Amino acid sequence: MRRKGKAVLAFASAFLALTMWESSRSHATTWMEVEKTDPISGTKCVAHRIVSFGTYIYQWPSKYDLVFWPSTDPNWFYYCTGSGYVSMASDFETLDDDEKAKIKDNLPSLYTAGTDLAKFSMRVDMAEKIYALRKKDDQFWIRFYRVLGYVNDAWDTEKALAYRLKALALIQKALEGSLLDGQRKEFLYLAGEYSRLNKVYTKAAQFFAEAKAITWADEKGSDAGENNYINELIRERRGLLPPEVKSNEVARWDQMRDAMSHARDEAKGLEGALRPLLADLEKFQARLQDLGKQIRAQENQLRRRHSLENPLELEYLVLQYNEQASQYNTTVEKAKALSVEYNRSIGEHNALVEKANALAKHIEEPVSAELPVSEPVSFAPAEPWRSTADERPEGQR
């Protein structure tokens, strides 16, 4: 029994080890060694080429800087010990003649032969110096500073923050210009995260809110997966803000929600007052139309016969018509005034909705849809009835 128990235990241990090894493999990345030609000296350099990886890389901690393997891996930074040239694999060979000449002229002052470029910290420092000699735009530096911020966290957190703040300055500059919604959402998230790391918490909360309010989209359209990915990062990092900052944001949201509720109630009240007036106007129009038909019938009879069976009937119909027209006109003026007031109230409500969605979406789901602005009341006033049935030469009356 003891031997059998030991055998079972040994099997269980072996199975556990195999399971852990398979698990580690399932989240591994692999490289193979290759040879590259140094674009500066022409000598051969040892480099690495990607063999395998998986989508799990998008859940590694570098996601909070929106940088992903392989750009965070030492193997991605090719280096040549002969000249001291360092570059990321993606643009190792893409140098024009001017860049090559500039790097060749400056490398002797930047690189001391024998410097340990195998050490990642030395390698990325050299890469930064060499990239400064190359033709790179702000978009490149925003990404590169984020990479430097993430990798430097392993050995110098103050330096890591400094790189992130360099990226933040360029991100804020980019946000002043025209960006696709996907890029703007990512930059606003990063501005929030880097402001949080710099302990500018109120600003961080504002950036997170603005980022959450945008739906991720590029030139091909929106992407729910990308949008949800960034929203989850916002949720996680916003949760790290100090409690008092989150409380202030919630308080601001509550105030805005109360203001929207008040504006909506006012608009609904005005709409409730306006609806019966519009219904009355339609009834008045129908009544005036009916009276007009009766009056015209009497007038036509008067023209044909030069007399009426009941002369007072026409007079009474005209009196009724003019009284209805007067009431109708009064109602028109009331409805017009209410219409203007209603649209003013709707405008205030919709402005609050827009502001709330821009600043506070990160606390709750999007606020209720905007209320529609109504068309201004445009009922034309009714003129008093003026009979033309008796307009004949005096001798023919």
What confidence tens digit (pLDDT) does each residue in 147-166 have? 999 999 999 999 999 999 99
Cα–chain-centroid distance for residue 140?
23
Instruction: Tell me the pLDDT tens digit for each residue of 338-390.
Output: 777 777 777 777 777 766 665 544 444 444 555 555 555 555 666 666 655 44
Identify the band that residue 286 occupies on the pLDDT scale cut at 50, 70 and 90: confident
Say yes or no to pLDDT of 275 above 90: no
Has residue 24 been placed in a domain? Answer: no
Domain boundary among 178, 213, 248: 248
211 and 268 in one domain?
no
User: What residues make up the domain containing 74?
Assistant: 31-248
Please determine, for residue 23, whether its predicted confidence score (pLDDT) is greater than 90.
no
**Number of domains the chain contains:** 2
Q: Tokens representing 271?
A: 């709409």
Same structural domain, 324 and 354: yes
The verdict on 301 and 244 lying in the same domain is no
At residue 128, does pLDDT exceed 80? Answer: yes
Please indicate, yes or no, whether residues 233 and 265 belong to a single structural domain of this protein. no
160 and 40 in one domain? Answer: yes
Q: Given a cut of 70, is residue 68 above it in pLDDT?
A: yes
Whether residue 185 sits in one domain with residue 233: yes
Does residue 381 have a cis peptide bond before it, meaning omega lies within 30 degrees of 0?
no
Tell whether the model's pLDDT for residue 6 goes beyond 60.
no
Assess if residue 255 is contained within a domain: no
How is residue 119 annotated by DSSP?
S
Which of 220, 248, 276 is the endpoint of a domain? 248
Higher pLDDT, 275 or 396: 275
pLDDT, average across residues 286-313: 70
125 lies in a domain? yes
Residues 288, 242, single domain; the answer is: no
Q: Determine whether 69 is exposed, middle or buried from the number of CB atoms within 10 Å of its CB (0-12, 13-18, 19+).
A: middle
110 pLDDT band, cuts 50/70/90, is: very high
